[in-house]
Structure formats: structure tokens, C-alpha cells
Amino acid sequence: MSDIESDRHRLGMATRRSVLGDDHVNRAIANSTEFDAPFQTLITESAWGHVWSRPNFTPRERSIITIALLAALGQDDEVAMHVRATANTGASREDVREALLHVAIYAGVPAANHAIKIAKRVYDQLDANKTSDEEA
């Protein structure tokens, strides 16, 4: 790995952890194998170290864009992951709702409808966990 790649990887890992959280990233690393290690490096350096680390958009704005794109593409697991990540990016539930309204118009009602179901399920889980934490 060259110094530039190392720097990009370090930046990407820091950004990835700030958005997705240490637990998620630690699980991804722990579950990585020789087969998918190059993919993990690719997404850490390119998605997180390059695109998500650029200064032009805030993490909130990137989060909103990402959720809309993933919803339009029908990437259910990724939609759920990025809806959970809004707790770290500052994107509100209203932001997600507005993004999914755009998906309905520009990518289709079925895609938005499905993503709304996913977001509702994620928010229900987050709310249940928050209630459990408050009771503890």
C-alpha cells in the first residue's frame, strides 16, 4: 500500500466509523475473509475515504442523497443500514421522508413505498432500543 492509499484508507475508516458506528464497522471487519477483503478495502478507500470524506456536502446531506439513491435502486439492506446511520449523520426522520417522496416521483412509487416500510421498521427498532435503554 502506498502512503496515499494508506492515508485514504485511514481517512475512509475514520469516516466509515463516524457514519456507521464502531459496532457495524467492527462486525464488517470481523466477518471479512480473504475473498472479500479487497472489496472492504475498495469501499473503505473509495466510498468512505474519497466520496463521503469530501467537504462539499455535510454528512447529513450525503446521508439524504445516499438513502434516496439506495431506495431508488431497491437496495433494501443498504437502505436500512443508512437509515440507522442517520443517528450519526444528523439527517432527521423528516429529511428521510422528504428524500423518499422524491424517490416516489423520480424513481417510482413502488420503490419509495418499499423503502418507507424499511425506514419505518428501522425507526421502530431504534425507538424500542431507546425505550429499553431509558428503562435500564
39-87 pLDDT per residue, tens:
999 999 999 999 999 999 999 999 999 999 999 999 999 999 999 999 9
pTM of the model: 0.90
> Where are the alpha helices (H) located in 21-108, listed in sequence order?
22-31, 37-42, 59-73, 76-89, 93-106
Note the pLDDT of residue 46: 96
DSSP assigned state of 53: T
pLDDT tens digit sequence for 91-122: 999 999 999 999 999 999 999 999 999 999 99
Cα–Cα dist 102/96, whole Å: 10
